[in-house]
Structure 1
Amino acid sequence: MTVSLQKGQKISLTKENAALNRIMVGLGWDEVPQPKGGFFAPKPQSIDCDASVFMLTGGKLQGNKDIVYFGNLQHSSRSVQHMGDNLTGAGDGDDEQILVELSKVPEQYDRIIVVVNIYQALQRKQHFGMIQNAFCRVVDDKNQELCRYSLTEDYSGMTSLIFGEIYRHNGEWKFNAMGQGTNDPGLKELVQRFM
C-alpha cells in the first residue's frame, strides 16, 4: 500500500521489509499549458527537466564521480543507475527513473539526494511555476509503490528542486520528502550546496 507523503515527512523503506535490496525512484511532471501567441509568435519551447542524484559521504559530496545524471548514467559502485533523459516530460507516468541497489551502496555513502533542475532555465525563461503534477515515488523490486510525494507548493521562479533523499539511519534505509526549491540556474550551481 502506498504511503502519501507531505513535505518534511520521512518513511522507513526497510523496517517492514529488511530484505529490500533494490528500489526505483520515479519522477514525473507535466507542463502547465502555455497560452498560444499570435500567428507569428514563436512556439514556446518544451521544458526539459533533468533528474540527478548526489551520493553524499558525511552529508557532503566528495566530487563529480558521485553525481549520477544524464551525462554519467551509472555510479562507479554500480549501486545507482539513471535510466536516461526525457527531454519533454510528455506522457503519463514516470518521466525519469533512477534505480538504487541498496545492498550495493558502499558504506561510506550515507545520503542519496534526488534533485531536478530545468535545463537552460535562465536562457529559456522557464521555472517550476510552469510545471504541474510533479511527483517522486519509490517502488520496490516487486513493482509495489512504497511511497509517493506530490509537490503541492507554488514553485514559481524556482529553477531547481531538491526533491528528497534516501538515507541510512540506525541500519535502516529511509526516504525524506524535502521539496526544497532553489534559484540555482543549473546542476553545477546546485552541486555547490552539497560541497
Structure 2
Amino acid sequence: MSAVMHVSEAPALSLSDINRLDRVRFVAALGGVFEHSPWVATEVWAERPFASIDDLHRAMIGVVRATSREVRIDFLRMHPELAGKEAQAGTMTGHSTAEQAGLNALTRNELQMLRRLNAAYAAKHGFPFIIAVLKNTRSQIFEALRTRIERDTDTELDAALEQISIITRLRLGRLLAH
C-alpha cells in the first residue's frame, strides 16, 4: 500500500488538521500534490503551522524552486505527457487522470498532432510539456504547446514550474476543506 493517498482515498482535511499532523501523516495527506514527489511535503512539514492554504502552497512550490536546475528537470520528468502513454495505459496518478479527463475527447487527428507536438517539445527541452489543463481550452493548450516549443529551455523550465504552481494550488484547494 502506498504511503501517498490518491484523490479518491483522501479524507477532507482542514488546514488546522494539516497543521497538527505528524510528519508521516502530513506526507501521506499531501505527498501526492506534487506529482510523484512526496519529498516536497516532507521538506515543508517542519515549517508548520501554515496560516493559509496559500502559505502552505507557497512553501511547497518554494521547496521545488530552491532545488538545483538538474533536480527541477528530474522533477518535471516525473509528470505525465498530455494524453500520452501513461494516459493510454491508465497509469497516471488520480490527480492527473482527473485533470486530463477533458483530453479524452480529442479527435484522432488532434491526438496525433498532440503526440507529435509533445515529442518535439520533449526532444527540445528534455522534459514533458506541462500546462494546467483545467484552466485552458483545447485550442489554448495546442497554441501554448506550439508557442512554448520555440522558447529556450530555461524560459520553459520557468514556465513549466509556473504551470505546476497553478496545478498544485488547485489540488490543495480540492484536498483541504475550506
Same fold (TM over 0.5): no
Q: RCO (CA 8 Å, sep 6+): is it higher in 1 or 2?
A: 1
- Higher helix fraction (1 or 2): 2
The normalised TM-score by structure 1 is 0.27
The normalised TM-score by structure 2 is 0.29
- Higher strand fraction (1 or 2): 1
